[in-house]
Structure 1
C-alpha cells in the first residue's frame, strides 16, 4: 500500500538535513554536527585557563630549578606548555573522530603497550623526587600511568559490557585482577595517588554496570581494611597519612610543609587575588607549576577564580552523565561514564590536596597543570570521551525522522 505522506516526509527529512549546513557529509562536517560541542567548549576553556595558570607559575618554577650553571628563563615552562598544547589538540581532535569500534581497539592495544611500559619502569625508569615513574624517550620523559588511565577505563568498560552477552562471564574477577595488577605496579613506583584513582574508577564502573549489591557491599567494606593495611605495610601511605593527621611529626614533616605552603598561597590572594605576577607565596611552593598550580591560581587570581575552575570541572562531569541518561549501548555508557569519573576524581583530589582537605598525593590538575605526558594523555582521554558521546542529531533528537530516513 502506497503511503500518501511519503513525499511530505521526504521533503521534511531533506529540509532538516540541509538546515544550518547539516547536509555536509564530509568527515569533518559529520564530526562537527555529531560532537558534543558544549563538552568540547568546556575542554577548550580548561586548556586556556591552564596556559594562563602555567604562565603565572612559570617564574617561581624557573627560579626553583635554576642554579649557578643553568639559568632557566622566567617563562620557560609557559613556552613548553604552548608547545605541548600544539601537540595535544590535534591528538584530541583526531581521537574524537574515531568510530567507536576503532576507538575501542586503540584502547585495548594501548592498555597492553602501557602495561608493558609500566612493568619496565622499575628497571629502566627515571627517578625524580624519590619516585620512579617515568621513562626517558630523549625529547621528554613519559609517564606510562598517565597514558594507561584512559586505555584501562575503556578496556574495563568493554570487559564489563561482555556480561550482556554472557551473564556467566566472571567479569568482576577479571577486571579486579587487572586493577590489582596495575595497583601493584603503581605502588612499586611509588604512586599512591594514581593507585587511588584506578581503584576508585574500577569500583565506580562496577556500580554503573549493575554489579550485584552483595558484591559491591563486600568491595566497599574492603576499602577501610585496605587503608589500614596500606598504613601498616606501605611506607608511602603511612608517611602521607601521618603528615595529614599529625602535622610536623616524624617522616611526614616535609609533606606537611608542602600542604602548609599550598594553603598559605591559595589564601594569600583573598577573593580577588594579587593580580597576574603579583604573587609572592608561590615562590615557596614546591612544584607550583604542576601539583600545586591550583594554589598559584588562588594567590594571583583569587578564590573566586578557584571556584569558577571547580565549577568548570563539575560542568564537564555533569554534562557527560546527563548526556548518558538515554544511552542504550552498554559499552559506550560504561566507557564514557568511567572516563568522566576519572577526570572528575583526578580534579577533585588535586584541588583537595591544594586546599588541605586531603594528604599530599602528587596529583596534577587536568588540562591546567604543566606537563607533556599529562596533557597528551588527557587529550587522548577527552578525545575518547567525545568519541563515545557523539550522537547523530537526527537519530537522537527525532526518532520520527530517524525511522523514515533509515539512519
Structure 2
C-alpha cells in the first residue's frame, strides 16, 4: 500500500512540471500543439480522398471535355483536371487553417458565415446564374459561387449551437427555431431547384434532433412529418415528382433525361468489371453526362474497377465511424452535436451520390465529397472538414479523464 501511495504522490508531484512543459511548448509552437491535438488519422483520410479525386477527375476529364466541346469552342482534354488541381491547392490551406481555430472562435465564425450565406441563398433567385435548367450559382466574374454548398457546414454548426442551448434551459423552443430555419432553407433550395441538397439539410436536421435527446414520441412525430413532407413534395413539387417517376416508372419511349443518366451511370460503373479497364482506357464514359461531377463514381468503376469503388465507400465509412468513436466520451453538447452533424452531412452526401451512380436512387445532381470536380464544392467541403477537425481536437495529455484519474492516485 505504501508503494502505491508513494507512486501516487510522485505522480502528483510530476504533473505540474509536465503541464508546465506542455504549456510552454504550446506558447513556443502552436503548430506543434495543433499537430498533437488534431485527429491525424481523420486528416490523412481526407487528404487521401483529395488525391483519389484528382486521379478520378483526370480520368473523367477527356470525356467531359469532348462532351462540352463544339465547333466554336474546344475544351482541352485535361482542362478539368488542371482546374481541379487549382481548387485542391486553394482548399488545402482552408482545411488546415480552419482546423487550427479554437472551438469557440470556430463556432462564432460559423454563426456569422451562416447568416452571410443564408442572405446569398435568398439572393440566388434574383441575381443567380442559370445552368442546366437550375439557378444555383452567383457569378462574381472571377468565379461562380454556390451559396448552398458553403451554407451546409455553417448551418449545421449553427443548428448544433441552438440545440445545445437546450442543455442549459430545457424550456427554450429550440425545436421550433431550428425547424423554421430548416424549412426556410428547404424552400429556397427547392426554388432553384435543388432537391438533393434539400434532402441533405432535412436529414441532418432530423439526426441532430435525435442526438439532442428528443423524447420517443417527438421522434416518432418527427419521422411522420418527414414522410408527409416527401409525399407532399411528390404531389406538389414537379422536380421531385419527375425524378421519382423516372426512377420508379421509367418510360423508355420518352427517354427521360434522368433515366438516361442513371442508366448510363450503371453501364459505366460495371463496364470495367472488378479491376477496371485501366486509367484512360474507358470508353463507356464518353456517353456519360456530367462524368467529372455527379457521375464520377461510375468513371472510377469503369477504369479502376468495382474493387476501387468499394475501397472508396469504405474510406467514407471509416471517416464517419472515426468521428463517432471520438464522440463516445464527449461531454460538451455543442461539440457533440456539431461534430456528429458535420460527419452526418459528409456521409449522407457521399451515400446519396453513390446510390445514384449504382441505380439505387433517382438522379439528384449531387457531388461526391472531395472526389467530384467543382470549386465551390471542394472549398466548402474543406471548410466543413476543417470545422470537424477543430471540434474533435483534444489535448492528449491534459483533457483525458483517464489521465487525470491515473495521476490523482484514485
Please state which band the TM-score falls in when normalised by the shorter chain. over 0.9
Q: 1:102 aligns with which of 105, 110, 114?
A: 105
Post-superposition offset of 1:371: 0.3
Distance 2:167 2:400 in 1: 26
State the SS of the aligned residue for 2:397: helix
Q: 2:73 aligns with which of 52, 60, 70?
A: 70
Which residue in 1 is equivalent to 2:364?
361
Which residue in 2 is equivalent to 1:118?
121
Post-superposition offset of 1:250: 8.0
After TM superposition, which residue ranges in structure 1, 4 or more long, deviate above 6 angstroms?
15-19, 21-24, 402-405
Which residue in 2 is equivalent to 1:326?
329
Post-superposition offset of 1:9: 3.8
State the SS of the aligned residue for 2:138: strand
Distance 2:74 2:13 in 1: 69
Which residue in 1 is equivalent to 2:163?
160
Unaligned runs of 5+ in 2: none
State the SS of the aligned residue for 2:135: strand
Distance 2:145 2:69 in 1: 22
Distance 1:48 1:190 in 2: 31
Shift in CA distance, 327/193, structure 1 to aligned 2, threshold 3 Å: same
Shift in CA distance, 278/330, structure 1 to aligned 2, threshold 3 Å: same
Post-superposition offset of 1:212: 1.6
Q: 1:310 aligns with which of 308, 313, 320?
A: 313
State the SS of the aligned residue for 1:393: coil
Whether 1:185 aligns to 2:217 is no
Shift in CA distance, 213/55, structure 1 to aligned 2, threshold 3 Å: same
Distance 1:275 1:212 in 2: 52
Q: Which moved more, 1:242-251 or 1:365-374?
A: 242-251
Which residue in 2 is equivalent to 1:36?
39
Structure 1 residues 104-155: Cα deviation after superposition (integer angstroms, max 9, x where no partner): 0111001100011000000110111000000001121110000000000000
Q: Which moved more, 1:219-228 or 1:253-262?
A: 219-228
Post-superposition offset of 1:68: 1.2
Distance 2:29 2:404 in 1: 21
Which residue in 1 is equivalent to 2:395?
392
Which residue in 2 is equivalent to 1:277?
280
Structure 1 residues 138-185: Cα deviation after superposition (integer angstroms, max 9, x where no partner): 121110000000000000000000011111100000000000000000
Distance 1:131 1:348 in 2: 23
Which residue in 2 is equivalent to 1:382?
385
Distance 1:252 1:241 in 2: 14
Which residue in 1 is equivalent to 2:243?
240
Whether 1:342 aligns to 2:348 is no
Whether 1:85 aligns to 2:118 is no
Distance 1:385 1:94 in 2: 12
Shift in CA distance, 164/69, structure 1 to aligned 2, threshold 3 Å: same
State the SS of the aligned residue for 2:256: helix
Distance 2:254 2:350 in 1: 27
Which residue in 2 is equivalent to 1:262?
265
Kept after mapping to 2: 8 A contact 1:242/1:249:
no
Post-superposition offset of 1:395: 2.7
Shift in CA distance, 142/23, structure 1 to aligned 2, threshold 3 Å: closer
After TM superposition, the structure 1 = structure 2 runs for residues 41-56 of structure 1, keeping only pairs within 5 Å, are 41-56=44-59
Distance 2:327 2:246 in 1: 40
Distance 1:236 1:264 in 2: 25
Post-superposition offset of 1:10: 4.0
What is the TM-score with the length of structure 1 in the denominator?
0.94
Distance 1:97 1:86 in 2: 18
Distance 1:402 1:129 in 2: 60
Unaligned runs of 5+ in 1: none
Distance 2:56 2:193 in 1: 28
Query: What CA RMSD, in Å, does the superposition of the two structures yield over aligned residues?
Result: 2.1
Which residue in 1 is equivalent to 2:173?
170
Post-superposition offset of 1:247: 1.2
Post-superposition offset of 1:24: 7.9
Kept after mapping to 1: 8 A contact 2:19/2:398:
no
Distance 1:250 1:123 in 2: 37
State the SS of the aligned residue for 1:378: helix
